Amino acid sequence: MNDLLAARSQMAMSLAFHIIFAAIGIAMPLMMTIAEWCWIRTKDLDYLMLAKRWSKGAAILFAVGAISGTVLSFELGLLWPTFMEKAGPMVGPLFALEGFAFFTEAIFLGIYLYGWTRLSPLAHVMTGAVVTVSGIASAIAVTVANAWMNAPRGFDMAGGVVRNIRPLEVMTNPYAPYQTVHMVLAAFAATGLLVAGIHAAMLLYRKPHGFHCHALRIALVVGGIPTLLQPISGDFLAKAVAEYQPTKLAAIEAQFRTEAGAPFRLGGIPDERTETVRFDLEIPSLLSLLLYGDPSATVQGLDRVPHLDWPPVAVVHLAFQVMVSAGIIMTTVVLWAAWRWKQGTLYQDRRLLWTLTLSTPLGFLAIETGWIVTEVGRQPWIIHGILRTSEAVTPMPGIMVPFVLFTLLYGLLMLVVIWTIWCHIAATGRPNVGVSIFEASASRGGMTK
């Protein structure tokens, strides 16, 4: 493995690890806040216990998200110093804003997690809302920075030198809204269905019990609505990719030749050498129709750029197929659940509960493959059309070593996290915790009234 590949692997592994915790960190606070709000409204103790249980688990996931995010902010320089030297002045202010959003998130998360007995219930639930909003804000800032790497603007290039930087243009990148909306929706959809799956599994072998029923409903609302919106956002994003990164789009669709009336390829294995796709199912003219609303529109193929500038077509195409398939399954499951909910048999349909359980990881599978599409699809560029990844990598040899170190470290952490969360889930049968804290919080609430 050469140093460039090691550096890319380390970055990919770190991002793949962090994105899970980042996404959970965006969506969990909303669910905790909703559960607590329901408790305030209904005085149903199960809701309070749910908020407590969720926040206990979330505390661990947040911490891991915060530290893996720290690692990333260093790795940008450790692995890609040339990139940061060029991009720092442009995306730097975005990261500063992200820093403040993260600050707010961490501060109010601390208050939320440890302030149960120190705040009135209303003030406490408000801090949960602040955590949610700041979490979304920090996700937006980071994704806007990534959108800039995909569609760079806000500066002039003259003879390889960056001049006349306009950071406001970086922040108001027209490509960014498509990507940020898609990412934020993905975070809610994936986390919501993950949590819904866990509680559906608990409902399968425990009597329908207030706690898990409440949990399932909240998770389905928080995850379900974004799941249904995601195809629309994906459609907008695909059109934006076609406009700003036609090469990436061509790789996604394995469109080797520029073509009028391009087909939509389902599945298949693209072969870069022969420029063909095997084993795929082609739906004639559909791609042109989807992108431009015209079945005979021309779709730009990979042939428009030199082979040297192609991303790895097979990886991008397959990752996209997996993402879309996961999305389609999630949409179906959510519609099914919504139908059962309307009928009032949400907790009785065992086949639905089983499907929800099996769909637990699908959202995160879609997030990971979606990031593969956007990151691998931009290769060989680190800043699209401006700076090659190979030019940005650190001159330090032996990157293999930190790559292996961090992979082992994160692998171990992941196992411990799963094990710890599993202990938390297994403990839901023991109701003592939530109630004892309720008493403290109720007495405190009484004091403040």
Residue the block writes with tokens 């249980």: 53
Closer residue to another protein (CB): 127 or 255:
127
Residue 154 vs 261, nearer CB to another protein:
154
Token representation of residue 53? 């249980």
Residue 299: strand pairing partners: 259
Contacts (CB under 8 A) with another protein, residues 140-199: 164-168
Closest approach of another protein to the CB of residue 360, in Å: 21
CA 391 – CA 130 distance, rounded (Å): 41
- Judged by CB under 8 A, the chain residues 353 through 392 that form the site for another protein are none
Contacts to another protein from residues 402-421, by CB under 8 A: 402, 405-406, 409, 413, 416, 420
Containing 272, the helix (H) or strand (E) segment is none
Q: Which C-beta is closer to another protein: that of 293 or that of 395?
A: 395
- Selection from 203, 170, 37, 163 nearest residue 97 by Cα: 170
Q: Of the candidates 157, 396, 418, 435, which one interacts with another protein according to CB under 8 A?
A: 396
Work out how close the CB of 380 gets to another protein at its nearest, in angstroms, rounded to a whole number. 21
For residues 90 and 144, the answer to whether their CB atoms sit within 8 Å is: no
Residue 343: CB minimum distance to another protein, A: 36
Binding to another protein in span 71-110, by CB under 8 A? 71, 73-74, 76-78, 81-82, 84-86, 88-93, 95-100, 102-104, 106-110
What lies within 8 Å, CB to CB, of 339 at 6+ separation is none
The structure tokens 């965006």 sit at: 26
CA 261 vs CA 240, 276, 283, 292: distances in Å? 19, 17, 10, 10
Task: List the one residue from 15, 111, 195, 322 that touches another protein (CB under 8 A).
Answer: 111
Binding-site residue total for another protein (CB under 8 A)?
A: 72
Class of residue 298 by CB neighbours under 10 A (exposed 0-12, middle 13-18, buried 19+): middle
* Alpha carbons 36 and 128: distance in angstroms, whole number: 9
Output the CA–CA distances (angstroms, integers) from residue 327 to 181, 193, 197, 290, in the order listed: 15, 11, 15, 17
54: nearest Cα among 112, 103, 134: 112
The distance of closest approach from Cβ of residue 116 to another protein in the complex, given in angstroms and rounded to an integer, is: 10
Return the residue of 119, 151, 190, 366 that touches another protein, per CB under 8 A: 119
Closest approach of another protein to the CB of residue 394, in Å: 6
Nearest residue (CB) to another protein, 231 versus 429: 429
Q: Is 331 in the site for another protein (CB under 8 A)?
A: no
Q: Whole-number minimum distance, CB 81 to another protein, in Å? A: 4
The residue (of 68 and 285) whose beta carbon lies closer to another protein is 68
3-62 positions binding another protein, by CB under 8 A: 56-57, 59-60, 62
Closest CA to 192 of 328, 364, 370: 364
